[in-house]
């Protein structure tokens, strides 16, 4: 996911051309966890025609200089905060502060993204599916649930299978566990 404050035209061009795969700044971010100025990778990278085109187009959009703050996470995911602008005046203290702000910002972004996913998951099953899962959670068989609710066994099983499919779970037990965990049902 690329979240940016870039001009729309530059963002579109960057993503359509797949520039992230040749961008010297993006590539350098995989090799270090320390903040770095854009000028280093841009200057040091052996350039081909596509990289030259990327750099030229970036310059046209005012993306000449900046600082990149890579963020490597324990689960193997990676993010980066890249700020455009002059960097030669930044003290070491300011760079450390930017690094801390980047870590905080990405942490907050991940938290918001997780909350959004959580909210979406909460809405994935119908009221009837939730009712079936509640009965499963207290140990009732499909036949017992059918008798209690006045539905057929086939309909009970269909509701449980629909909930399982919607939640992306492997079996009925996991569906119940996830439904409880995501507060789709309460006992």
- Residue 122 pLDDT exceeds 60: no
Domains with residue ranges and CATH for the chain: 8-120 (3.30.450.80), 124-181 (1.10.10.10)
- Residue 107 pLDDT exceeds 60: yes
* pLDDT the model gives residue 168: 86
The tens digit of pLDDT for each residue in 15-30 reads: 999 998 999 988 888 8
Q: Give the pLDDT band (50/70/90) at residue 45.
A: low
* pLDDT the model gives residue 147: 97
Do residues 77 and 106 lie in contact, with contact meaning Cβ atoms separated by under 8 Å?
Answer: no
| Phi (first) and psi of residue 19, to 5 degrees | -60, -25
Could you give the CA distance from residue 183 to residue 187 in angstroms, rounded to a whole number? 10
| Phi (first) and psi of residue 91, to 5 degrees | -75, 165
Residues near 142 by beta carbon (within 8 Å), at least 6 away in sequence:
153, 156, 157, 160
Question: Percentage of the chain with pLDDT > 70?
Answer: 90
First-last CA distance in the chain: 37
* pLDDT the model gives residue 6: 83
* pLDDT the model gives residue 76: 64
Q: Which two tokens stand for residue 130?
A: 């939730």
């Amino acid at each position: 996911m690329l979240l940016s404050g870039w001009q729309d035209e530059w963002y579109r061009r960057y993503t359509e051309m797949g520039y992230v795969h040749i961008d010297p700044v993006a590539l350098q971010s995989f090799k270090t966890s320390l903040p770095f100025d854009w000028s280093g990778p841009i200057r040091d990278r052996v350039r081909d025609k596509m990289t030259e085109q990327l750099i030229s187009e970036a310059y046209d959009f005012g993306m000449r200089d900046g600082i990149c703050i890579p963020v490597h996470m324990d689960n193997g995911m990676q993010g980066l905060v890249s700020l455009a602008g002059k960097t030669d005046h930044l003290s070491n203290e300011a760079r450390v502060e930017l690094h801390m702000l980047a870590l905080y910002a990405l942490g907050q972004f991940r938290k918001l993204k997780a909350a959004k996913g959580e909210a979406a998951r909460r809405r994935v099953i119908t009221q009837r599916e939730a009712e079936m899962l509640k009965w499963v959670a207290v140990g009732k068989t499909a036949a017992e649930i059918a008798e209690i609710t006045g539905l057929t066994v086939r309909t009970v099983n269909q509701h449980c299978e629909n909930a399982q499919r919607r939640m992306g779970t492997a079996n009925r037990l996991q569906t119940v566990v996830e439904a409880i965990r995501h507060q789709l049902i309460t006992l």
